[in-house]
């Protein structure tokens, strides 16, 4: 499927040329990132419009969202998946309850989590799978080593890291090829040394919480300014703003298109 030029251009991520502006899906859940969204039909509409109307070809999710809820929504909304669509998911966090998160990086757990994500998404391979959090109770090389084994088995295409330091990226890079790094970055939380490190190492950097949970989108033009600031930090930056409103998604795209649509790969 040939898509029109997306609002913020393209980036090479996990071996695919995808829209530089992706869609984060954490908000497609209930309160506390727990359970189904209040309006599942609106959530499905957001996913479909992002891909089929707005040209977004990078959808970011995690097994912990819900937990499990969003992966199932993505399957319902988008399968059969377009060939140019990259769905990235994450494993390594468990959910004791609403607004509660705990890292779990035991290799046996990571393996079971990958297998479960494959079933929920109805995929034969996770093209991009992140270690959602580094579990301090398990050696990092064992955590990424299990993902590398799953990659060798063909169940994972590319491996990313989430919420990591430069030292952790270096350590993981001794075991795997790091396909992407996903950390918090926005105008009120702007200081992450991994941004420059990833630029030098040519690792795509995926800012999550790019609008600081919506606080940077409250003023007129605020969302567009916040996203343009991120995009200006380097061509390796690919933000993943999230929303629970189809109209808000359309507005986000609209704030970028007049300035960014002329970008070329």
Which residues are within 8 A (CB) of 232 and not within 5 positions of it... i.e. 6 or more apart?
Answer: none
Which pLDDT band, with edges at 50, 70 and 90, does 253 fall under?
Answer: confident
Q: Is position 130 annotated as part of the catalytic site?
A: no
HSE-up (13 A, CA, CB side) for residue 41? 0
Question: Parallel, antiparallel, or unpaired: how do β-strands 126-131 and 86-91 relate?
Answer: parallel
Which of 65, 130, 205, 208 is catalytic? The answer is: 65
Tens of pLDDT, residues 236-249? 999 999 999 998 89
CA angle 231-233-237, nearest 5°? 55
Map out the domains of the chain with their CATH numbers.
10-259 (3.20.20.100)
pLDDT reading at 28 higher than 50: yes
Model's pTM, two decimal places? 0.93
Tens of pLDDT, residues 55-69? 999 999 999 999 999
Tens of pLDDT, residues 143-173? 999 999 999 999 999 999 999 999 999 999 9
Question: Parallel, antiparallel, or unpaired: how do β-strands 86-91 and 93-97 relate?
Answer: unpaired
Which pLDDT band, with edges at 50, 70 and 90, does 1 fall under?
Answer: very low
Produce one character per residue of 34-50: b if its CB has 16 or more CB atoms within 10 Å, e if not. Answer: beebeeeeebbbbbebb
Cβ pair 155, 125 in contact under 8 A: yes
The neighbouring-strand residues paired with 87 are 59
Q: Cα(51)–Cα(83) distance, rounded to whole angstroms?
A: 12
């Amino acid at each position: 499927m040939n898509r029109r030029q997306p609002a913020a251009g393209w980036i090479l991520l996990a071996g695919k040329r995808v829209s530089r502006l992706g869609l984060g899906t954490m908000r497609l859940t209930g309160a506390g990132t727990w359970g189904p969204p209040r309006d599942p039909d609106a959530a499905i509409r957001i996913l479909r419009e992002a891909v089929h109307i707005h040209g977004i070809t990078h959808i970011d999710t995690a097994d912990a969202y819900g937990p499990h809820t969003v992966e199932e929504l993505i399957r319902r909304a988008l399968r059969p998946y377009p060939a140019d669509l990259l769905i990235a998911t994450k494993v390594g966090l468990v959910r004791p309850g609403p607004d509660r998160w705990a890292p779990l990086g035991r290799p046996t757990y990571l393996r079971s989590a990958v297998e479960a994500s494959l079933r929920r998404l109805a995929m034969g391979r996770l093209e991009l799978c992140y270690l959602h959090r580094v579990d301090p109770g398990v050696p990092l090389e064992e955590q990424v080593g299990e993902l590398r084994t799953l990659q060798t088995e063909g169940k994972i295409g590319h491996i990313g890291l989430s919420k990591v330091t430069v030292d952790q990226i270096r350590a993981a890079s001794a075991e795997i090829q790091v396909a992407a790094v996903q950390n918090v970055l926005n105008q009120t939380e702007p200081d992450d040394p991994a941004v420059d490190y990833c630029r030098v190492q040519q690792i795509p950097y995926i800012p999550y919480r790019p609008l600081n949970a919506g606080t940077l989108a409250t003023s007129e033009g605020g969302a567009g300014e916040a996203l343009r600031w991120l995009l200006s930090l380097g061509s390796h930056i690919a933000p993943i703003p999230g929303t629970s409103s189809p109209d808000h998604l359309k507005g986000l795209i609209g704030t970028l298109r007049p300035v960014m649509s002329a970008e070329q790969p």
